Amino acid sequence: MSNEKTVEKPWTGRFTEPTDAFVEAFGASVGFDQRMYRQDIQGSIAHAKMLAHVGVLTAAERDAIVTGLTQIQGEIERGEFQWSIALEDVHMNIEKRLTDRIGIAGKKLHTGRSRNDQVATDVRLYLRDEIDVIAKELKRLQANILDHAEREADTIMPGFTHLQTAQPITFGHHLLAWNEMLQRDSERLADCRKRVNWMPLGSAALAGTTYPIDREFTARELGFDGVCRNSLDGVSDRDFAIEFMSWASILLMHLSRFSEELILWASAQFRFVEISDAFCTGSSIMPQKKNPDVPELVRGKSGRVFGALISMLTIMKGQPLAYNKDNQEDKEPLFDTIDTVKGCLRVYADMLGYAAQPDGAKKYHIVPRKEVMREAALRGFSTATDLADYLVRNGVAFRDAHEIVGKSVAYGVKTGKDLSEMTLAELQQFSDAIKDDVFNYLTLEGSVAARNHIGGTAPERVREAVLSARQRL
Ligand code: ARG
C-alpha cells in the first residue's frame, strides 16, 4: 500500500491544506474495501454503458472506459495494482487509475453518480455474490446430514429433555431435526437475497441527479430485481446487511447447538460418536487427549457473528438521513461475518462427509458408536412412557398408569433392572392390567416403531422424511 504525498485526490478543489497524515490513514477504507474491486468495476461498466445509452457519454468514451476498467481488473488480479491510502477507498483508487490510463474519458465516468450510491451498490453486489456461494455450501451440508440420517434410520439412541434420558429415538430422527433448522436457514437466506438485490445506483449523493439517467437499464445490466425507490433511503439503507447478519446469527446459533451435542457425544462420558482424527487435535501436555476442535471453534465463532450484528445495529441506530461516514464501518463486520459463515459451513459440510478410500470405500468423519447409544437408551428407563401408554390402552386412567410406572421404575432403580429386563411376575406386582404382550412395547425397537406418524421417530417415518427433505433441498 503506497502513501505518497504526490497522489492527487479528486476532491481537493476547495481545500487549501493537505489532509493530516494520520487522519488520512485513519479514514482510509482501501485496506478492507479493495476486496470489492470486481463489483466496483462491474458497477462502473454498467454505469458507463447506461450513460452512453442516454447520450451523456459517446460510444467511444464508453468503450475506452470499459476497456480501461477491464485492464485494471487484470492488473488487480495479477497483483500489479498499486493501492494508495491517499486515495481513500477502492472506488477512488480504481477511478484514478482509469484516468491515468485513458485520460479525459476516465474523468467522465463519475457523471451522475456519487461514491455514496456507488458504495451502496458495490456492497449489495458483493453480498449477493457471497450469498450465492453460501447457499450452495449450506445445501452441501444439508445433503450430507440427510445421507447420515438415512443410514442411521434404525440406530437407536436415548432422546433427551433437560439432558436427562427421556425416550428412545432413532439417531436418524435426531439428525433430521438438525436438517429442519438448516432448511429454515436456507429458506430465510433466499428471502434475504430478495431484499439485497435492489439497486441504489442513481440515488447519487442523496437527492438523485440532473442527468437523464435510465436506472432500469443499469439494473438490468447488473442483474438487480429492481431499483431503490427513494434516493435518500438508497444511499443510507444498510438493512440488507443487517438482515443478512441476523440470518448469519441464527445459522451460527444452530451450528453452535450442533457443536455442543457433538462435543458432548465425543466425550469419554457419552462416547456416542467418534470424530475422525482429521477434525480433531491433540494436547501438547496430555498425551491421551483428542479434542473436538472443529465443533468447539464453530461454537466459539458464534460469538463474533452475534457481536458483528450488534456492531452493525449500533452503527446504524444514530444516523440521520442520508449518507454518513459512519457507514464506512459497515464493511468489516459484514465481511468478517461472510468469511466466518463460509468457513463454518465448509468445515461442517466436510466433517459431515467422508474421505474416499483407495478401495472406493467411504470413511465417514463422524461415526456413531451404535452399541454405546443403545446401552445408554436401555439404562435410563426410556420406555417408561411406553409402559404407561400400554396401561392406558388396557383401560387404566393415565394418572394411575403414571403412578404404577413410577413404582415400577423405583423397583428397577433398587434392583438395577431396566423395565424390559423384569419378569412378567415382577411387573404384575404393580398392576394386573399388565399381560405377557407388554414386552412388545418395552423394547427400544417397539418403542420407536410405535411413534409412527408424521414427524415421529419410527425408522419408517425417518426414511420417508429423508426423501421429502431431499426433495425440498
Ligand atoms: N469509503 C466510503 C464508504 O465506505 C465510500 C463513500 C464515501 N462517501 C463520502 N461521501 N465520503 O462508505
- pLDDT tens for residues 228-275? 999 999 999 999 999 999 999 999 999 999 999 999 999 999 999 999
Stronger pLDDT, 213 or 10, i.e. the higher one: 213
Asked about 44 being catalytic, the answer comes back as no
At residue 288 the predicted structure's pLDDT band, cuts being 50, 70 and 90, is confident
Is the shortest distance between the CB of 89 and ligand 1 below 6 Å? Answer: yes
pLDDT of residue 10: 83
Whether pLDDT at 5 is above 60:
no
In the three-class reduction of DSSP (H, G, I as helix; E, B as strand; rest coil), residue 368 is classed as strand
Per the DSSP assignment, residues forming a β-bridge with 368 are: 273
In the chain, which residues fall in CATH 1.20.200.10?
A: 116-363
Give the C-alpha separation, 60 to 106, whole Å: 12
The dihedrals phi and psi of 162, each to the nearest 5 degrees, come to 55, 20
Indicate the top mutation candidate among 44, 89, 121, 238 to test ligand 1's pocket, ranked by most ligand atoms within 8 A of CB: 89
Taking all residues of the chain, what is their mean pLDDT, rounded to a whole number? 96
Asked about 283 being catalytic, the answer comes back as yes
| pLDDT single digits (tens) 405-414 | 999 999 999 9
Q: Is the peptide bond before 322 cis (omega within 30 degrees of 0)?
A: yes
End-to-end Cα separation, the chain, in angstroms = 44
| pLDDT single digits (tens) 335-372 | 999 999 999 999 999 999 999 999 999 999 999 999 99
pLDDT of residue 284: 86
pLDDT of residue 289: 86
In the chain, which residues fall in CATH 1.10.40.30?
A: 370-472
Q: Whose CA is nearest to atom 3 of ligand 1?
A: 328
Cα torsion angle, 48, 49, 55, 58, sign: positive
Question: Measured over all CA atoms, what is the biggest interatomic distance in the chain, rounded to whole angstroms?
Answer: 101
Is the shortest distance between the CB of 259 and ligand 1 below 6 Å? Answer: no
At residue 332 the predicted structure's pLDDT band, cuts being 50, 70 and 90, is very high
Give the C-alpha separation, 233 to 112, whole Å: 17
| pLDDT single digits (tens) 93-143 | 999 999 999 999 999 999 999 999 999 999 999 999 999 999 999 999 999
The beta-strand segments (E) located in 312-391 are 354-356, 362-364, 366-368
Is the shortest distance between the CB of 170 and ligand 1 below 6 Å? Answer: no
β-strand pairing of 354-356 with 273-275: unpaired
Q: Whose CA is nearest to atom 12 of ligand 1?
A: 328
In the chain, which residues fall in CATH 1.10.275.10?
A: 12-111
Least Cα distance to 125 among 252, 250, 243, 241 occurs for 241
Indicate the top mutation candidate among 88, 124, 327, 334 to test ligand 1's pocket, ranked by most ligand atoms within 8 A of CB: 327
Domain 116-363 CATH class label = mainly alpha
- Measured from the Cα of 323, ligand 1's closest atom is 10
CB within 8 A of 105, min separation 6: which ones?
57, 60, 61, 64, 65, 68
Superfamily the domain 12-111 falls into = Fumarase/aspartase (N-terminal domain) (1.10.275.10)
Least Cα distance to 106 among 50, 52, 56, 64 occurs for 64
Expressed in angstroms and rounded, the spacing between residue 89 Cα and the centre of ligand 1 is: 8
| pLDDT single digits (tens) 313-322 | 999 999 999 9
Residues 201, 117: contact at Cβ < 8 Å?
A: yes
CATH number of 370-472: 1.10.40.30
β-strand pairing of 164-170 with 226-227: unpaired
Q: Give 225-230's long-range contacts (Cβ < 8 A, gap of 24+).
A: 225/194, 225/197, 225/198, 226/197, 226/198, 226/199, 227/198, 227/199, 227/201, 227/202, 228/198, 228/199, 228/200, 228/202, 228/203
CB within 8 A of 150, min separation 6: which ones?
172, 463, 466
β-strand pairing of 362-364 with 366-368: unpaired
pLDDT of residue 346: 98
Average the pLDDT over 19-34 and give the result: 97
Is the shortest distance between the CB of 116 and ligand 1 below 6 Å? Answer: yes
CB within 8 A of 30, min separation 6: which ones?
1, 83, 84, 85, 87, 88, 89, 90, 93
Q: How far is CA 173 from the centre of its chain?
A: 22
Identified catalytic residue from 29, 162, 173, 468: 162
Q: Which region among 289-293, 318-322, 392-396, 424-428 has the lowest average model confidence (pLDDT)?
A: 289-293
Residues 138, 252: contact at Cβ < 8 Å?
A: no
Indicate the top mutation candidate among 9, 119, 321, 331 to test ligand 1's pocket, ranked by most ligand atoms within 8 A of CB: 119
In the DSSP assignment, the letter for residue 89 is S
Q: How many CA atoms, within 13 angstroms, populate the side-chain half-sphere of residue 368?
A: 23
Say what percent of the chain tops pLDDT 90.
94
Whether pLDDT at 4 is above 60:
no
At residue 8 the predicted structure's pLDDT band, cuts being 50, 70 and 90, is confident
At position 51, the amino acid (one-letter code) is L
Count the Cβ atoms, other than its own, within 10 Å of residue 26: 9
Give the C-alpha separation, 184 to 140, whole Å: 15
pLDDT of residue 3: 57
pTM for the full predicted model: 0.95
Is the shortest distance between the CB of 121 and ligand 1 below 6 Å? Answer: no
Identified catalytic residue from 84, 231, 259, 283: 283
Q: Whose CA is nearest to atom 4 of ligand 1?
A: 328
Whether pLDDT at 6 is above 80:
no
Average the pLDDT over 170-174 and give the result: 98
In angstroms and rounded to an integer, the radius of gyration of the C-alpha atoms of the chain is 31
